A and B are shown apart, each in its own frame.
Chain A
Amino acid sequence: MAERELMYREALREAIDEEMARDPTVFIIGEGIAERGGSYKVTEGLLAKYGPGRVRDTPIAEAGMIGVGVGAAIAGARPIVEILYVDFAMLGMDMIVNQAAKFRLMTGGEGRVPFVMRTQGGTGGGVAAQHSQSLEALFYHIPGLRVVMPSTPSDAKGLLKYALRQPDPVMFLEHKHLYMTRGMVPDGEHIIEFGKGDIKRAGTDVTVIAWSNMVPRTLEAAEELSLQGISVEVIDPRTLVPLDRAMILASVSRTRRCVIVQEANRRGGVASDICSIILAEAFWELDAPVEIVAGLDIPVPFNLALEKASVPQKDDIIAAVRRALHESPVARAAG
């Protein structure tokens, strides 16, 4: 199929644009998204195309914005609520956790909440503790939510289009470092179902599981390791809920070694949960303990050197891969 190179933010815009054209109930609200086109320029041009009824600026009122999004979704529309930073989504947690996530079950399966919250997280050059968090684990923990974390323009587009067609509340978590990254995106209707991971690089010696901005970082590490003769398989679940367990278990069973990389701090994180799944389902396939590379269990400091030190870097991933490779039952017995 033909494809074009797009920036992540352009791919997101195409997804919104195409879905707005296709489905008149899709609309988007957020701070500075209309005239200004959003802080990350994702919504540029949409106001001119779809008008102020479907592309609306809001006051700084996250609890209200998220809440009306959930309400509109329950009533049959397909709202996208853009929250500038995932950190600010914390103001709307009641609406996400107690309303959106619970509604389907509480109504015996009749009520659905096709609500999409687009936001972004992660560290990004000294924006400090309240603008740098990776909070996917909070949403991951809540049954009823879908958690999506695309790492490439193609995935961003395909997953957002799917989000706007499926029936459940979606936490669509972008990364501030990715908006300007480029990648090939298939022409035509491009939709990626939730729950289908992607092998970003095939390899045989060790599986590294990563998502969001940790994917490009892991690919750099894998490239460097390949020059040293180590073949790394990089897999990206793309959606954390639902999680492509089958892909993870198949890859780990093939390579017999696994490293999980997350930008979020380690405690109570998604990596720990994926690790527990691997240990429960593929323990006997492993030749080494599962390694987790994660952020430090501290808020992200402003100082750039400390910011860097508090989230996984390429060398941290390389070191973890090496540990996973050098650790073997044989070496241990001999050791």
Chain B
Amino acid sequence: MNEGKPIQNAPSREILEKIFRTAYKIRVFETEGIKLYRQGLIRGYFHPYLGQEGIAAGVCAALREGDFIASTHRGHGHCIAWGASIRKMVAELLQKETGYCKGYGGSMHIADISSGNLGANGIVGAGTPLGVGAALASQVRGSDAVTVTFSTDGASNNGTFLESLNLAAIWNLNFILVIENNGYAVSTRIDESTRDTDLYKRGIAIGVESHQVDGNDPLEVHRVTMQAVKTCRAGKGPVLIEAKTYRHMGHHVNDPGKYMPEEELAHYKARDPVDRARAALKEMAGFSDAEIGAIEAEAAAEFADAVEFSVRSPEVTAESFAAFAQGY
């Protein structure tokens, strides 16, 4: 376990900027997306990633082209951190044919296979075997690509966790399991669903290098992921990273989250990953308020443009549906 080791190699200016830019973009996407939901423009499920942005931002900044990610039902942040088009994401949420999945998937299923994003998933725990599978495919093809599965505390109690992580272990796969431990599965607290709430220990139990990090510290997440990626590319994977974090609101847009104690929420809000990424950019890379303001304005403008694009996009047609439905 890593216990707050000092930062040996401070991340570069580019990385610091990338992490903040990503975290802030996610913050805008979720905050504005919730507004669209309330206006009735978005239907179905919408699980906000608010409060957990530092994990996706920190992890993805450690990956490179050719790598893979697999995600969860709370997947917008991973997708954005992977570099997805905000236009195509919003269009998907608005059920348009210009969306990532042509309006067939929605929030819980956004994927971009060509870029290595195996997608969000509506089945808790499914991303772990899928990610291990991608890592297996890389090994079989002789590639040193790394696959990250973003997973959850909830998924760690599902059988898929042990079965697939064990496979990754016996085959030394280039696989990183990031468990975003936000303390809840809907309203069920983690201490009601497991005796030992330190989930990283489960990796150790089956011989997998495992770490626990403050998931609200994007730089720490990034540092540990960099190490994990190195371990994997050296053929010594898999690695498990448990990132402790907390949601800023209920489980999905319509969950008021009354079961989340106020003090607990306040504790984590005081350790807001977006604020921390911003502070790091200022303090460690010397960004001015104006420069940071420009990044924020850009993110807001990108989202506004995506909404306009999506609203203007044509509705899915009966003809394209008929064509799509062929062959099933």
Contact = CB atoms under 8 A, between A and B. Distances in A.
A60 B151 CA distance: 13
B43 A125 contact: yes
A57 B95 CA distance: 35
Interface in A19-77: 31-32, 35-36, 39, 57-64
A31 B186 contact: yes
A106 interface: no
B158 interface: yes
A277 B177 CA distance: 51
A297 B322 CA distance: 12
Interface in A97-143: 125-131
B103 A306 contact: yes
A301 B96 CA distance: 12
Nearest to B321: A306
A87 interface: yes
B122 interface: yes
A299 B327 CA distance: 12
Given A60-B155, A126-B106, A304-B43, A131 B122 contact: yes
A32 B157 CA distance: 15
B7 interface: no
Given A59-B188, A303-B103, A309-B321, A127 B328 contact: no
A88 B123 contact: yes
A304 B186 CA distance: 25
B89 to A, nearest CB: 13
B315 interface: yes
Contacts of B154: 59-60
B64 to A, nearest CB: 30
A305 interface: yes
Given A60-B124, A87-B123, A131-B122, A302 B109 contact: yes
A127 B45 CA distance: 6
B261 interface: no
A298 interface: yes
A302 B186 contact: no
Given A87-B123, A125-B43, A306-B316, A60 B158 contact: yes
Given A35-B259, A36-B259, A309-B321, A302 B124 contact: no
A118 to B, nearest CB: 18
Looking at A58, A299, A302, which has the most chain B CB atoms within 10 Å of its CB? Answer: A302
Contacts of B328: 296-299
Contacts of A60: 124-125, 154-155, 157-158, 185, 193
Contacts of B158: 59-63, 91
B155 to A, nearest CB: 7
B106 A302 contact: yes
B93 to A, nearest CB: 9
Given A36-B259, A60-B154, A306-B104, A126 B44 contact: yes
Given A36-B187, A59-B194, A309-B318, A125 B44 contact: yes
B259 A61 contact: no
Given A128-B106, A296-B325, A309-B321, A32 B186 contact: yes
A147 to B, nearest CB: 23
B183 to A, nearest CB: 13
A87 B328 CA distance: 19
B159 A59 contact: no
Contacts of A130: 108-109, 121-123
Contact of A128 (B122, B321, B325): B122
A35 B188 CA distance: 9
B321 A64 contact: no
A89 B158 CA distance: 13
A61 B159 contact: yes
9 contacts: A35-B187, A39-B186, A59-B188, A61-B159, A88-B123, A127-B44, A302-B95, A304-B43, A309-B321
Interface of B: 43-45, 95, 101, 103-106, 108-109, 121-125, 154-155, 157-159, 185-188, 192-194, 259, 315-316, 318, 321, 324-325, 328
What are the nearest 9 A-B pairs in CB distance?
A126-B44, A302-B106, A130-B122, A59-B157, A59-B193, A126-B43, A303-B103, A303-B95, A301-B104
Given A39-B186, A57-B188, 16 more contacts: A35-B187, A57-B193, A59-B154, A60-B124, A60-B193, A61-B157, A64-B159, A128-B44, A128-B106, A131-B108, A298-B324, A301-B103, A302-B104, A302-B106, A304-B43, A306-B321
